[in-house]
Structure 1
Amino acid sequence: MELSLAWRLFKRELHQGQLLLIILAITLAVLSVTGLASVSERLQLAINGQASTFIAADRIIDSPAKIDPQILTLADKLGLARVGSMQFNSMVYAGDAFQLVTVRAVEQGYPLKGDIELSGGKAQGLPLADNIWFETRLGGLLGYPEQIELGNANFNLSKEIIRLPDAGFNPFASSPVVLMRIEDVAKTQVIQPGSRVTYRYQFTGNSRQLSAFEQQAKPLLNTSQRWVDVQSGDSPIAAAVQRAERFLLLASLLGIALACAAIGIAAQRYCQRHYDVVAMLKTFGASAKQIRVLFGTHLLLVTTVGVLLGLLGGFALDRGITAFLPIEIAAYTPPIGRPIMLGIATGFISAFMFSAYPLMRLLAIPPLRVLQRQLEGLQLGMWLHLILSLGAMALLGYLYSQSLALTLTVVAAVLLLGALLSVLGFFMIRLGHSVGMKTTNPLQLALAGLRRRAKQNAVQLVGFSSALVLLLTILALRQDLLQEWQKQLPENSPNYFLVNIAPEETQIISDFLAPHLKTSPIIYPVVRGRLTEINGEELISNAQKQEGSEGRVGISRELNLTYQASLPPNNEILEGEFNQDTLDVSVESGVAERLGVSIGDSLTYTIDNQPLTVKVTSIRAVHWETLQPNFFMIFTKEALAPFAYTSMSSFHLADSQRGLILDLIKQFPTVSIIDVGAMVSQLRQIIDQVSLSLTLVLILVLLASALVMIAQTEAGMATRQRELAVLRTFGASGWLLRAATGLEFALLGTIAGILAVIVAEFTLYLLKTQVFELNVYMHWPWWGIAPLCGGLIVALLGIWRCRQLLNKSCGELLKGH
């Protein structure tokens, strides 16, 4: 009986259009989440796919010995493509000349991603047997011989390498690289028991295969083996990729919050429209159980329709946007299971948890309401509504992002918005109380309308403010991220590095380059040293710590130290003052935190078997993602003057000036020249792709926010129609009503804009400090622009939605009512 009645009620209200608002809200919620999830996952796959060319694979395992064959068998079972390689140092000889080189011995199929760039173009395959491809600078160091001797074998120097896709970026790696087939290593007899060799295993596959491989392979690795992906820090694009992924996750999380707000508002309106229905059903003898089944079934049917429409709309949105994406992004196909499950979960969890309290109020409507329509039943329990609503939002947010920091930030923003709405928003709306019911001008009538609909307007402010907070937050973060990446790679980023410059060559090279460069390059002296003591306490290595030794853990390798008279570019002093006295040192913030070093501590280094004790006088933030020389420790010239050093520098050359590099190689054969131009170009392509992704997400958020605002103006149309009918009856003119309606919505939008700025600034502070690691600053122009834009946008939406009511005559309004 109840199910049959619920179905008839559903069909009748669906036909009459009374379910439009709640179905639209649920559809919007599911569409936003499903569409954003699909687009975001496609963009994430594309960004990671493009960035993975920096490591020539999707995943890498580095090991000092051959890995467990079980891991390779697992990769084969999962269908991953894989190649292995070996890397070791060795001397090569050409006549009387010799040079230390880094040997890369690779299997057939290398590289899995990206290309080997040779002087004659992109490589096709690998070197032939008994052939070696060599880095350009090796030819200059050895005098361009036709053959070299490596171990007990001779090899032809056949082709020059411009860049390997997984070469990484290490200007301190002074050994030229040579590439050979892995099967040729045995004939050299260089690898003997105890030889230092790095074994590298590279894998590619789809996201499902890689996820399964990571879950099963990682536990099989030992402490000396390393798992590498594009976010592990080895890639120069790692920070950009991580921030872009967090941004996409945040956009979807805010989309979820926006959708939840829309559903909560729609559920409240749905229940309010049925107060009279419940009162009549109780008057006619319906039991509480019958009414619960009736409206529970009704809500289930409404939610199901909304979810289905939302899923269809979400995938239509994904397909529509994909059609406008570049081919290299559209080629990636994310799995559809997760967006579907997330969309369904969003629809049902938010619909039922946000509807719980309004339904409780609906079911508690007394039968006496048929005589006294002001009765609304349950008035308590708002705390339960708050807990259920926040719980639903937090659950959906965490299910989507798997990020506690992002989820808590969104929840904190919602709590602040709720607090402001209950205090500031209600207070500002109540300002209209003193005006009473005067209707002598549009402003007085608008303020009176705000007072009469104080509760309803407070609910509307939730939707308007949420949409504006979302827009401001996404807009600000997108702009900050783009500016950060543009700073990382400005137009004249260095594309060449000079390493191993002898002291006597420093001035000669500087004079040689000066006529060809716009600005003189900074020369960085490089001294090798090991940190041995902090405040007189001797440091131990990680290995010693694991063996049970007690003491403070230091850095178990030699550091590249430098001196500078002034703070280098891309460095920022966080604490203290940069090197004032002879024995001052400036320490990079990450190393300072890791070592527990602070201002005033003394550090002792061993350089050329001699101790050097200095005092920490400043802590620096360093932008490591920039392709420029950066150092953990910067000393004064006087402190490092007694020690031997070489120098390094970087500069930018236009393509038309590349001939200058050949002159450099000929005149300074001992100087290592590193060409990072191809890497810079590839980085720019990825950052352009990321920028496009952020723009697309911003457009999606704009559309979602606009839909929520449109849906929000739907609330209260029946009440407004009754008021317009009464005002028309008492002679109010059409101009007065249109102006008053526009002003009322404009005031709502202005208040929403003020609330949105406060919440957005708070949200951005949390996001920048806890998630994105960006500089925090106030957006002062927002305090004027957001209220003005909020007032204008909401006024236009309100007038557009009420245009039919405002154009009706008194008789038409009364008939419609």
Structure 2
Amino acid sequence: MEFQLAWRFFKRELTQGQLLLIVLAITLAVLSVTGLARVSERLQVAINGEAATFIAADRIIDSPIALDNKILDIAAKLGLAHVTNMQFNSMVYAGDKFQLVTIKAVGPAYPLKGVIELASGETKALPQSGEAWFENRLGALLENPKSIELGNSELKLTGEISRLPDGGFNPFASAPVLLIALEDVDATGIIQPGSRVSYLYQFTGTASALKQFEAEAKPLLNNSQRWVDVQSGDSPIASAVKKAERFLLLASLLGIALACAAIGIAAQRYCQRHYDVVAMLKTFGASAKQIRRLFGIHLLLVTGLGIGLGLVGGLLLDLGLTAFLPAEIAAYSPPYSRPILLGVSTGLISAFMFSAYPLMRLLAIPPLRVLQRQLEGLQLGMWLHLLLSLTAMALLGYLYSGSIPLTLTVVFTVLLLGTLLSLLGFAMIRMGHSVGMKTTNPLQLALAGLRRRARQNALQLVGFSSALVLLLTILALRQDLLNEWQKQLPDNAPNYFLVNIAPEDAKPLNDFMNVNQIAATDIYPVIRGRLTHVNDEELISDEQQKQGEAGRVGISRELNLTYRDSLPPNNSITAGTFNQRDDEVSVETKVAERLGLNLNDTLTFTIDNQLVKVKVASFRKVQWETLQPNFFMIFTPKALADFSYTSMASFHLDDDKLKQAGSELSDNDVVLQLIKRFPTVSVIDVGAMVGQLRQIIEQVSLSLSLVLALVLLASALVLIAQTEAGMAMRQRELAVLRTFGASGWLLRSATGLEFALLGAIAGLLAVIVAEFALYMLKTQVFELVVYMHWPWWAIAPLMGALIVAFLGVWRCRQLLNQSCGELLKAG
């Protein structure tokens, strides 16, 4: 019985348009979440997939010994492709010349991701048995031989390497690379018991298979084996990928927040419109149980329709946007299951949680409302509505992102927004009370409208401001991320590194740079040392800690130390002052956090079997992604004056700038001259890696722009839904004003001013909350520089006024053009 009545009720209201707002709100919720989830997942998979070319695979296990077959069996069971490589250092000989090289012995499937670039172009081939491919600088160092001796083998040099996909970036590993077939390693006789060698097992496959592989294989690794992916810090793109993924997650969380706002607005309007219906049903003898079933089924039908339309819209949105994506991104297609499940969950959870309190008020409507229209039933329990709403948002946010910091930041921002708007918004609207009694001009009539609808306008402010806060937040974060990446990789970013610079070569090298008009960084001395004590407390290793020894865990390797008189570029002091006395050191912030250091702590280093004691004078934040020389520890020149050192530097070189400077040489010619003049200096070409890094950043930038466009669309729909919410009351008021002779011009001007005032207030409050949200996000999630957005304080209220006024007048245009009789008849 209740179902038949609910179905008839549903069809009638659907055909009459009375369900339009709540169906639109649920559709918006599901469409936003499904569309954002689908697009952001595609972009996440694409970014990670493209970034994986930096390690030539999706995952790597780096091991000093051959890997247990159990792990390889797991990979085979999950359908992962894999290749085994080896890497070690050795000497090669060509006549009377010899050179230390890094041997990279690769299996036949190498590389799983990316391509090898030779001087002759890209290739999918590999060195054959008895052959070797060499890094271009090795040829110059050995005077371009036809073959080289490696251990017991003689190998023909048949290919000149321009770039390997997993070449990595370590300016301190200065040995050029020699690529050989894995099957040739045994014949060289180099690998003996106790030899230092790295086994690199590379894997690739589907996201789900890789996730399962990580869950099963990672616990089987020992302490000397490392699990590597694009976010492990071994790739220079790691930081950019992590921040881009956080941005995509945040954008989707904001999409969920927008969707929840739309549901809340629509649910309240839906229940208000049915107050009289419930009163009538109770008057005619319907029981509370029957009414609960009736509206429960009715709401379920509405929710089902909204979810269905939203899913279709979200998938169409994904198809539409995919058509505009670059082919390399569009080629990635993650499963549809998660976006669809998330969309359905969003529709059901938000419809129930955000409708619970309005529905409670609806079911509590007394039958007496038939005679007294001002009765609204339940007046208490707003705290329950707030609790249910925040719980729903937090649940959906965590289900989507899996990130507690992101979810809590969004929830606390929404809580602050609601509190601030409920108090300040209502107070600002009530300020119009004294002038609102006179309605002789549009401004006074607008203020009178704000006063009469103070409660409703306070709720509208929540909707308007929510959309503006989310827009400001997402816009600012996107711009800050793009600016940060642009600073890290400007057009003149270094594409060559110089290492092993002898002290006597420093001045001639500077002169060489000046003569050829090459922009280079400072030359940094490099001294190897080990940190052994903090405040005279001996540091222990990770292994010692795992074996049960007590003590502070140190850094279980030697560090590259340097000294300077001034703070290097791309470094900023976070605490203390840069070295002022001879016995002071400046420490990078993350190392300081890892070691638990404080200012004025005493550090003891062992350098060339000598002890050096220094005090911590400052902590520095370092931008490691700038491709310039950076160090964990910076001493004063006098502190390390007694130790021998080599130096390093980086510089930018390209053909166009050389031509502009009037040089007939190419960048390769200049590099060859540099190698010949300074044969002991190792030149590392990172230009190809910089180009690949820029390509990834461009794809990330496109991703951020697309997600921003989606959030803009969702925000506009929320603003429209919020404007729609007050149309019924406004229609009755316009009818009354028309009856008393108000002109069309007066009503149009007053309506526009009323919405503009609401928009201006919403814009001002949105700036306050957005600044708070950005502070939390930048400090707790994205690690970005915090600063005030002063132009917003003028622009946001103005834009809020214009946008909301336009939407309000556009939505009210039909009502404003109707005559008094038409308004009374429609009401």
Offset of residue 593 of structure 1: 1.3
Match of 2:625, SS state, is: coil
Offset of residue 76 of structure 1: 1.6
Distance 1:551 1:385 in 2: 51
| Matched AA of 2:268 | Q
Offset of residue 293 of structure 1: 0.4
- The answer on whether the counterparts of 2:59 and 2:204 sit within 8 Å (CA) in structure 1 is yes
Q: Deviations over 1:353-384 (max 9, x none)?
A: 10001011000000000000000001111111
Q: Any residues of structure 2 matched to 1:630-645 within 5 Å, and which?
A: 630-645=630-645
1:718 and 1:546, CA in 2 relative to 1: closer, same or farther beyond 3 A?
A: closer
Offset of residue 72 of structure 1: 1.2
Task: Tell me the percent identity.
Answer: 76
| Matched AA of 2:764 | I
| Matched AA of 1:666 | K
Q: Deviations over 1:85-125 (max 9, x none)?
A: 01112222223332222111110011111111222222331
Match of 2:785 among 775, 781, 788: 775
Let me know the Cα RMSD of the aligned residues: 1.2
Aligned to 2:18: 18
1:521 and 1:362, CA in 2 relative to 1: closer, same or farther beyond 3 A?
A: closer
Offset of residue 682 of structure 1: 0.6
- The answer on whether the counterparts of 2:513 and 2:519 sit within 8 Å (CA) in structure 1 is no
Aligned to 2:759: 749
Q: Any residues of structure 2 matched to 1:249-288 within 5 Å, and which?
A: 249-288=249-288
- The answer on whether the counterparts of 1:33 and 1:339 sit within 8 Å (CA) in structure 2 is yes
Distance 1:476 1:588 in 2: 28
- The answer on whether the counterparts of 1:140 and 1:669 sit within 8 Å (CA) in structure 2 is no
Q: Deviations over 1:220-265 (max 9, x none)?
A: 2222211111000001010000000000000000110111011011
Distance 1:305 1:441 in 2: 45
Do residues 550 (structure 1) and 550 (structure 2) align? yes
Aligned to 1:337: 337
Distance 1:400 1:327 in 2: 27
Do residues 455 (structure 1) and 465 (structure 2) align? no
Match of 2:82, SS state, is: strand
Aligned to 2:441: 441
Match of 2:508, SS state, is: helix
Do residues 665 (structure 1) and 675 (structure 2) align? yes
- Which of 415-424 and 209-218 deviates more? 209-218
| Matched AA of 2:608 | D
- Which of 534-543 and 557-566 deviates more? 534-543
Offset of residue 454 of structure 1: 1.4
Q: Deviations over 1:296-332 (max 9, x none)?
A: 0000000000000000000111111111111111111
Q: Any residues of structure 2 matched to 1:643-722 within 5 Å, and which?
A: 643-655=643-655, 656-722=666-732
Do residues 205 (structure 1) and 205 (structure 2) align? yes
Distance 2:333 2:124 in 1: 28
- The answer on whether the counterparts of 1:517 and 1:652 sit within 8 Å (CA) in structure 2 is no
Do residues 291 (structure 1) and 288 (structure 2) align? no
Distance 1:548 1:262 in 2: 56
Distance 1:366 1:783 in 2: 47
TM-score by length of 1: 0.99
Distance 2:732 2:497 in 1: 76
Distance 1:25 1:454 in 2: 24
Aligned to 1:802: 812
Q: Deviations over 1:441-477 (max 9, x none)?
A: 1111111111111121122112111110110000000
Q: How many residues align?
A: 817
Offset of residue 138 of structure 1: 2.2
| Matched AA of 1:209 | A
Aligned to 2:658: none
Do residues 609 (structure 1) and 619 (structure 2) align? no
- The answer on whether the counterparts of 2:265 and 2:721 sit within 8 Å (CA) in structure 1 is no
Distance 2:423 2:383 in 1: 16
TM-score by length of 2: 0.97
| Matched AA of 1:319 | L
Aligned to 1:72: 72
- Which of 576-585 and 473-482 deviates more? 576-585
| Matched AA of 2:795 | I
Distance 1:604 1:749 in 2: 61
Q: Any residues of structure 2 matched to 1:290-369 within 5 Å, and which?
A: 290-369=290-369
Match of 1:666, SS state, is: helix
Q: Deviations over 1:27-67 (max 9, x none)?
A: 00000000000110111111111111000011111111111
Distance 2:20 2:485 in 1: 44
Aligned to 1:225: 225
Aligned to 1:247: 247
- Which of 397-406 and 709-718 deviates more? 709-718
Q: Deviations over 1:754-777 (max 9, x none)?
A: 111111111111100110000111
Offset of residue 436 of structure 1: 4.4
- The answer on whether the counterparts of 2:174 and 2:684 sit within 8 Å (CA) in structure 1 is no
Distance 1:124 1:422 in 2: 64
Aligned to 1:235: 235
Aligned to 2:660: none
Match of 1:231, SS state, is: coil
- The answer on whether the counterparts of 1:109 and 1:125 sit within 8 Å (CA) in structure 2 is no
- The answer on whether the counterparts of 1:499 and 1:672 sit within 8 Å (CA) in structure 2 is yes
Distance 1:418 1:543 in 2: 51
| Matched AA of 2:562 | T
Distance 1:657 1:624 in 2: 26
Do residues 215 (structure 1) and 215 (structure 2) align? yes
Q: Any residues of structure 2 matched to 1:413-428 within 5 Å, and which?
A: 413-428=413-428
Moved over 4 A (4+): none
- The answer on whether the counterparts of 1:141 and 1:670 sit within 8 Å (CA) in structure 2 is no
Distance 1:310 1:193 in 2: 64
Match of 1:433, SS state, is: coil
Aligned to 1:429: 429
Aligned to 1:562: 562
Q: Deviations over 1:676-698 (max 9, x none)?
A: 00011111111111111111111
| Matched AA of 1:703 | L
- Which of 591-600 and 325-334 deviates more? 591-600
Distance 1:352 1:88 in 2: 61
| Matched AA of 1:422 | S
1:619 and 1:462, CA in 2 relative to 1: closer, same or farther beyond 3 A?
A: same
Unaligned runs of 5+ residues in structure 1 are none
- Which of 244-253 and 161-170 deviates more? 161-170
Unaligned runs of 5+ residues in structure 2 are 656-665
Aligned to 1:373: 373
Do residues 813 (structure 1) and 823 (structure 2) align? yes
Aligned to 2:486: 486
Distance 1:539 1:200 in 2: 30
Aligned to 1:81: 81
Distance 2:593 2:325 in 1: 42
- The answer on whether the counterparts of 1:133 and 1:178 sit within 8 Å (CA) in structure 2 is yes
- The answer on whether the counterparts of 2:518 and 2:651 sit within 8 Å (CA) in structure 1 is no
